[in-house]
Amino acid sequence: MDHTRGVISESNDTAPSGWTHAYSGKVRDLYVPDLELLGGAHPLGDVVLVVASDRISAYDHALSPEIADKGRVLTALSLWWFEQISDIVDNHVVSVEVSTTHADGLIPPQFAGRAMICKRLNMFPIECVVRGYLTGSGLVEYRAAQAAGLPGQVCGVELPTGLTDGSKLPAPIFTPATKAELGDHDENISLAQAAARIGEEPAARLRDLSIAVYERAEKIARSRGIIVADTKLEFGIDSATGSIVIGDEVLTPDSSRFWPADEWEPGRAQSSFDKQFVRDWLTSPDSGWDRAADGTPPALPAVVVARTRARYLEAYERLTGQPLAQ
């Protein structure tokens, strides 16, 4: 979880006893311990409570209505992936135990299933994006370079000619981005630009970790009939150990593009298990929304909400092999 940025706002959830609301982002709400109630220190150390809501966003806009069970899917899937990559990089999760008394500092019952108690990290100010397939903003950047008479490239990484929407890349590429505040736009940057922000050695380490996580996830997902086209990861420094730790969420339908492997066909928009369904509706004539004008998007129709919820649940069940716990 990015513990250093966000917008101060009201959460839809009432602040629970033992925790104080700090801020809300696009999807997650962050709480800090009520140290006075806890006797001056949290029993688990320097921690925060990260709660995944059912909110959904697209094109840097918060949308309505919410998607039921989305927060539970994001939390459960992140926890599952943290286990799958635990030998590659440590994660920020300290506990998912539910509180039995207001003074024990654990997860309040109203947040059970969609919250994690996490180490407070000093987050790197970049998003670590890995792409195994060309689509989205990467495709736009690739085509823009070609239109300017340059070799097709993404974030300074030169790619072969002849690629199209959905093309598999020769190897996964690291394409970092800036971290935007709510309502602003992330900006793709090169590895050199990332290094200028955080240092050459940390940038190279984040690149290597990100690609290793992606390659592990892509192999696991493909064995279960899902292509991980790309994913966004976030890392921070554990001040207690000085080590790099993966935080926020990992390999969820919010942070990744998941495609059904048996339907993959380069040259067209791919069917997906993520919020691409929402993006597609927003940019379709049916929504009546002008993305270029950047106005407030319309409310999502019931059919879009229902199908998005079904896709999130299917992604979880396909990847983990289990239904979402009730």
Digits of tens for pLDDT over the chain (326 positions)? 444 333 334 455 566 778 999 989 889 999 999 998 888 999 999 999 999 999 998 888 889 999 999 999 999 999 999 999 999 999 999 999 999 887 889 999 999 999 999 999 999 999 999 999 999 999 999 999 999 999 999 999 999 999 999 999 999 999 999 986 655 567 899 999 999 999 999 999 999 999 999 999 999 999 999 999 999 999 999 999 999 999 999 999 999 999 999 999 999 989 998 887 898 899 999 999 999 898 999 999 999 999 999 999 999 999 999 999 87
Domain 126-319: CATH superfamily, name plus number: ATP-grasp fold, B domain (3.30.470.20)
What pLDDT sits at residue 2?
Answer: 40
56, 278 contact by CB (below 8 A): yes
- According to DSSP, residue 188 is labeled B
Residues 128, 129, 134, CA angle at the centre, nearest 5°?
A: 165
Q: Are strands 244-247 and 115-119 parallel, antiparallel or unpaired?
A: unpaired
Which CATH class, in words, describes the domain spanning 19-120?
alpha beta
Residues in the chain: 326
- 19-120 and 126-319 share one CATH topology? no
pTM of the model: 0.91
User: What distance in Å separates the CA atoms of residue 165 and residue 134, rounded to the nearest whole number?
Assistant: 6
Give me the residue spans of the domains in the chain.
Answer: 19-120, 126-319
d(CA 322, CA 12): 29
